[in-house]
Structure 1
Amino acid sequence: MNLKDVNVFLMVTQTQSLTQAAKRLNTTPMTVSRRLALLEDELGQRLLHRTTRAVALTAEGEEFLPYARAMLEAERGALNLLSPQKSGAAGNLRVTAPSGFARRTIMPLLPALLANNPELNVDLQFSDDIIDIVGQGFDIAIRIAPLRDSRLVARKLADNPRVLCASPDYIKQHGKPTQLTALSEHNCLRLSSVLQWTFITDGQPTSISVEGRFSSSNVEGVRALCIAGMGLAQLTEWDVREELINGELIAISLDDVQDQMLAVWALFPTSRHLPVRVITFLDVLKQAMQSINMSGAP
């Protein structure tokens, strides 16, 4: 298989345009189209739907996409291995992560990561939505919500239980709820996409609808209002670790339910031939998270 054809395919999926792919590859749209046709003929499958306005992956193209990336990564890895003057991670690392986690945990790592790997580029996307990392060309997704996509390869990075919390001022004024039903008596600050809060009863998840005067699409908005004493919030431990440690927020335990145990996960399109840049990033992230765990627990 001609890796130049594979590279053209990847560039088209990234730009979603034959013309833009041709510009980035310093060639012509006709050449791009010809190389795609050669690749599809070799595979015996149509990889892309092409119209005059847009380009989209077929089902076969989506299946081939992670293998195409792996092939080019293997080529780059071999070249780096045989080039003594090159060291460290290289290439474009594309990461998507929840906004709060990205700002607090990932961003502080990037200056040293980039300084230690001069040939590495990082594209970090802040998103609280579930991103199609295969279709959008991400190397890795960090997620703290329950996993739903079984096509992806998941690696657990740390435990991350849900935490019911409030500020000391709010508790002083309104008291602590002690039963699940008591949440209806409080102003509940919630994420816009989360209509119910989940706990564990007798080993099984149980959810309750909550109401309040504020909701946000972003964890940071909910956390800020909670710190300001405007109500209760249910976030995850990694969202409020700093505030629980310094006393800005207080964890609340209910007598009739337990907190739901979640985790911080790293998701990949495929487990085959993880690029050096992904392995390097993961090592740095895991080491930082372990250091945070050791420095203090809520």
Structure 2
Amino acid sequence: LVAHRLGTSRRLLCAAPAYLARHDAPETIAQLSDHRLLAATGQMPWRLVSGTRRATIEQPSAVITNSSEIVRELALTGVGIALRSLWDVGETLARGDLVRILPDWEGSTDVGIYAVHPRAPAVLPAVTAFIAFLRETLADTRF
């Protein structure tokens, strides 16, 4: 396979207003340990960055699931705090269905968005055009 990195998947900490109505929003990274954290299997620990500062959150998820979509839905219904990709929750943040938590912190930038295709002696023009389209589309977004 050939992978083309299209960009970085920005990941933000977020929770529903309903969750925050029952629990005070954490004001520090250390206070995350007092909260229900939501992550799919294999998505913990969280590696967070804020400028040159780094933090690793190793608390187990409050749920066991292999579905990132379930994690998003649980966050939306007020079950806990999730680390989600901006492309996944951007609209819900804009509507106020989710609220950003600890806005100075984000997921590490080592998570990328890739276009992947089989290695071939000649790449079809449609594949090249589609990758160019994806690059342009992602460049025009806030992801």
1:278 aligned residue (115, 127, 131): 127
* Max Rg structure: 1
CA deviation map 1:209-245 (0-9, x unaligned)? 1234313211110000000011000121112122112
**3-state SS of the aligned residue for 1:215?**
coil
Q: Percent identity?
A: 27
CA RMSD of aligned residues (A): 2.7
Q: Which blocks of at least 5 consecutive residues in structure 1 are unaligned?
A: 1-133, 135-152
Aligned to 1:249: 98
Asked which structure has the greater RCO (Cα within 8 Å, sep 6+), the reply is 2
Aligned to 1:234: 83
Q: Does residue 1:165 correspond to 2:14, yes or no?
A: yes
Q: Does residue 1:185 correspond to 2:46, yes or no?
A: no
Letter in 2 for 1:156: R
TM-score normalised over the length of structure 1: 0.42
- Structure 1 position 204, deviation (Å): 6.3
Q: Does the CA-based 8 Å contact 1:189-1:222 persist in structure 2?
A: yes
Q: Which blocks of at least 5 consecutive residues in structure 2 are unaligned?
A: none
Write the mapping of 1:22-41 to structure 2, written as runs, cut at 5 A. none
Q: Does the CA-based 8 Å contact 1:179-1:254 persist in structure 2?
A: no
Q: Does residue 1:221 correspond to 2:70, yes or no?
A: yes
CA deviation map 1:237-295 (0-9, x unaligned)? 1121221122111111266x55422431223454863222312332443444455x2xx
Distance 1:213 1:268 in 2: 36
Aligned to 1:176: 25
**3-state SS of the aligned residue for 1:273?**
coil
Distance 1:259 1:178, change over 3 A: farther
Q: Does residue 1:260 correspond to 2:108, yes or no?
A: yes
Aligned to 2:5: 156
TM-score normalised over the length of structure 2: 0.80
Does 196-205 or 159-168 show the bigger shift?
A: 196-205
Does 240-249 or 207-216 show the bigger shift?
A: 207-216
Letter in 2 for 1:155: H
Letter in 1 for 2:71: V
Structure number with the higher helix fraction is: 1
Letter in 1 for 2:94: I
The aligned length equals 142
Letter in 2 for 1:260: S
- Structure 1 position 155, deviation (Å): 2.5
